[in-house]
Structure 1
Amino acid sequence: METPFVFGKIATDQNFTDRRVETERLLQNFRSLTNTIIISPRRWGKSSLVIHAAKQLLMSEENVKLCMIDLFNVREEEEFYTLLAKEVLTSVSSKWEEIAVNAKNFLARLIPRISFTADVESELSFGIGLEELKRNPDDILDLAEALAVSKNIRLIICIDEFQNVANFGDSLAFQKKLRAHWQRHSHVAYCLFGSKRHMLMDVFANVSMPFYKFGDLMFLQKIETEEWIPFIRQKFQMANKVIERDEVQLLVELVDNHPYYVQQLAQQVWLRTEKLVVPSIVKEAYNGLIDQLSLLFLNSMETFSNAQLGFLKALIAGEKQLSSKQTLQAYRIGTSGNVVRIKQALMEREVIDLQGNEITFQDPLFEAWLKRDWFK
């Protein structure tokens, strides 16, 4: 029997839970063509939220088109332009003849090369010479607006892994160029998000950066336990299995309400249950999940310096005065200046998160493994 819990891929339809407030806010932004930036730690459901809201929009609104772009494998500015042009062209038309006409009409100066394979898995191949791109990328940056105006539509462009633009050569100039064009678009809205929270914060929340105040900044929060309870109980009921409120609460709290791990642990509990879930099943599944990840965690430990390991040990021990002389000596962290550098390095590696003065682990199971196995 197929398990009813989804993790590691986009959660849609009946697999999507809660986020009602965020969904409505995102829908309002889409409808009003307000740019949106979504920031949260990895695997908190940003992509699922965007897809969920976009589906609702397309079902309720006319003359709206959606363009989804993933920059995961994009490392250079020229690749970005080519991908943007291809996805925008294909999002407004499904007929390759019309795509070719639009490319000719709106990108004539760039001399685009288009080919189309008319097989079972039809695919558009789109390319532009690097020299043409370097001379004039403006037509591509304004392509979405030009097409939206000509077709009398609204276009929503959602770009995942947007933080990758920070790695382009002369990234600051590139971001200035994007902002200069996109802020003038009145028929297009941009929804930008990604998996590197610290990089996104630097791009969008840094007053000195071009994309500062580009749009509505949404910080996703964890899904509350009360929202998980009916969702998980219903999934069990569908298979004639029973999980009571207390066991759901235990399950959710063990993984600190982390959306990905809630679904994964729920699956493990579901697989271990014949009829009724008892606390021992939840705890057994939880420890089994940590065991599954232990090799991954063990390998990651080899990449930390001794000072970083000391810092992690201090966190696990509950130390609050990390820069005190006593803590520095007890955990062999080094100097107080080292603490600042270690915090920054661990945030960049997405090991910890810093909100105000509170330091938390981004991965609750990594924290649990450190407590249970590494620093025992």
Structure 2
Amino acid sequence: MKSKISNPFVTTGYLGPEFFCDRKDETERILRAIASGRNITLISLRRMGKTGLLKHVKHKLEKSGNPVSVIYVDLLPTLNGNDLLNSVSTSLLRIKTDEKNIIEKVLGTLGSLRPKLTIDSLTGQPALELVIDSPATVQSGFDKLLLLISDIKRDIVFMFNEFQQISRYPEKNIEQMLRTVIQTYPEIPFIFSGSSRHMLENMFLSAGRPFYQSSELMYLDQINENDYREFIKDHFIKAGRTITGEAIDGIFEWTRLHTYYVQYVCSLIYESGDMKTDLPDLKKVFLRILTDFEHQYISYRNLLPSHQFRLLSAIASENVVKNPTAGKFIADYNLTSPSSVSTSLNALQDKEMIVRENGKWMVYDVFFSRWLEYNYSK
């Protein structure tokens, strides 16, 4: 028997429409693309709610009048073509379909790769391990899986999350291989998504790349402020509790309206059990977060060269910075020279500690940014 959800502000996974805020327009756009057989690529910052949106679309497709089987594959943990094929085949084992003997069919299809059926120790779900000895084997295996999928007597949608990960594989022809196989099955819509804007734009907008113009690009921004406000208030009201408008404004400002961080703050407030939440209560929650994460952030500080850390702290102090190589910014924060700032900027971007959005630089992790601001701001 499943336990009842005691806290409606979910920070991991997807627990159903009741706990999912807004994204109506984005959901409908993806569903229309699927219905029209178009591929679509969803791009957003990490923790903006991209995975939740995909799971929400998956839920709607599986619960629709004409149920659709969704194959959802998270590529973030994968390191090479072998991992890719393992993830795809494992996801295929877990799809909701009326197809009989799906496990036997997958094992038979991949028999030449010596598949080993295992059980995930945490979820109890089936998983598959394959033996891949060359990129050609990856292509052959993926082709066989898509052929099997196309024969399933039900509509299928394929979702690849963190798709930019394939660009980091040691195999140099993975993009070409995937594109070659995917275009052979136009009846299967593909949803690609990822958190590295420049990598995905290069992949889908550069004429020399295999996936050039093969997918419609969709950018996911913050949830509408008014919709998010109502979502938060409604869940507190349902519990017989209140949260003031000023407190909600404070949450939105402190978290930059970034979905995961809004959810995290609201989760802690809800967890407290207080019947009313106002600004003074909110400040206690902020302090708790900075304290809880402090050991992690001190580790970040100790791992960074001093100039990179000074630049990171300076950006956090400003919240966002349009031109970090400007003379005034460099002088205000004692950052030596434009060339050293540029070098540190590139290094911090490579480490995904900062990100440039809408022409402005910011610390990627909002809580880390607030910790830096709290401890190192002038």
TM-score, normalisation: structure 1: 0.85
CA 1:341 to 1:37, structure 2 compared with 1: closer, same or farther past 3 Å? farther
CA distance in 2 between counterparts of 1:98 and 1:328 reads 61
What secondary structure, in the 3-state scheme, does the structure 2 residue paired with 1:4 have?
coil
CA 1:208 to 1:333, structure 2 compared with 1: closer, same or farther past 3 Å? farther
The CA deviation string for residues 30-55 of structure 1, in whole angstroms up to 9 with x for no partner, is 22232222211111111110011111
What secondary structure, in the 3-state scheme, does the structure 1 residue paired with 2:70 have?
strand
Shift of 1:98: 4.4
Partner of 1:44: 48
What secondary structure, in the 3-state scheme, does the structure 2 residue paired with 1:87 have?
helix
Deviates further, 65-74 or 256-265: 65-74
What secondary structure, in the 3-state scheme, does the structure 2 residue paired with 1:230 have?
helix
CA 1:24 to 1:311, structure 2 compared with 1: closer, same or farther past 3 Å? same
What secondary structure, in the 3-state scheme, does the structure 1 residue paired with 2:213 have?
coil
Q: Any residues of structure 2 matched to 1:73-84 within 5 Å, and which?
A: 73-84=77-88
Structure 2 unaligned residues grouped into runs of 5+: none
Partner of 1:54: 58
Alignment-mate amino acid for residue 367 of structure 1: S
CA distance in 2 between counterparts of 1:30 and 1:213 reads 17
CA 1:303 to 1:96, structure 2 compared with 1: closer, same or farther past 3 Å? farther
Partner of 1:213: 213
CA 1:272 to 1:92, structure 2 compared with 1: closer, same or farther past 3 Å? closer
Q: Any residues of structure 2 matched to 1:272-283 within 5 Å, and which?
A: 272=272, 274-283=274-283
CA distance in 2 between counterparts of 1:69 and 1:82 reads 10
Counterpart check, 1:375 vs 2:355: no
Partner of 2:161: 160
Q: How many residues align?
A: 370
CA 1:11 to 1:200, structure 2 compared with 1: closer, same or farther past 3 Å? farther
CA 1:270 to 1:126, structure 2 compared with 1: closer, same or farther past 3 Å? closer
What secondary structure, in the 3-state scheme, does the structure 2 residue paired with 1:284 have?
helix
CA distance in 1 between counterparts of 2:235 and 2:67 reads 36
Alignment-mate amino acid for residue 359 of structure 2: N
Deviates further, 94-103 or 56-65: 94-103
> Residue 317 of structure 2 contacts residue 372 of structure 2 at CA under 8 Å; is this kept in 1?
no
Alignment-mate amino acid for residue 58 of structure 1: E
CA distance in 1 between counterparts of 2:271 and 2:96 reads 43
Alignment-mate amino acid for residue 189 of structure 2: A
TM-score, normalisation: structure 2: 0.85
Give aligned-pair identity as a percent. Answer: 21
CA distance in 2 between counterparts of 1:123 and 1:294 reads 36
Partner of 1:151: 152
Partner of 1:297: 297
Q: Any residues of structure 2 matched to 1:171-320 within 5 Å, and which?
A: 171=172, 173-272=173-272, 274-318=274-318
CA distance in 2 between counterparts of 1:42 and 1:135 reads 32
> Residue 85 of structure 1 contacts residue 143 of structure 1 at CA under 8 Å; is this kept in 2?
no
Counterpart check, 1:12 vs 2:21: no
Shift of 1:328: 4.2
Alignment-mate amino acid for residue 311 of structure 1: L
Alignment-mate amino acid for residue 237 of structure 2: Q
Q: Any residues of structure 2 matched to 1:306-345 within 5 Å, and which?
A: 306-318=306-318, 321-325=323-327, 327-328=329-330, 331-345=333-347
CA 1:373 to 1:52, structure 2 compared with 1: closer, same or farther past 3 Å? same
Alignment-mate amino acid for residue 277 of structure 1: T
Structure 1 unaligned residues grouped into runs of 5+: none
Alignment-mate amino acid for residue 342 of structure 2: V
Over the residues paired in the alignment, what is the CA RMSD in angstroms? 3.0
Alignment-mate amino acid for residue 31 of structure 1: A
CA distance in 1 between counterparts of 2:331 and 2:245 reads 45
Counterpart check, 1:88 vs 2:58: no
What secondary structure, in the 3-state scheme, does the structure 1 residue paired with 2:95 have?
helix
What secondary structure, in the 3-state scheme, does the structure 1 residue paired with 2:356 have?
strand
> Residue 204 of structure 2 contacts residue 214 of structure 2 at CA under 8 Å; is this kept in 1?
yes
Shift of 1:17: 0.3
CA 1:369 to 1:142, structure 2 compared with 1: closer, same or farther past 3 Å? same
Partner of 1:358: 360
Alignment-mate amino acid for residue 339 of structure 2: G
Partner of 1:70: 74
CA distance in 1 between counterparts of 2:98 and 2:168 reads 32
CA 1:92 to 1:234, structure 2 compared with 1: closer, same or farther past 3 Å? closer
Counterpart check, 1:29 vs 2:12: no
The CA deviation string for residues 146-168 of structure 1, in whole angstroms up to 9 with x for no partner, is 23443343211112232321221
> Residue 160 of structure 1 contacts residue 194 of structure 1 at CA under 8 Å; is this kept in 2?
yes
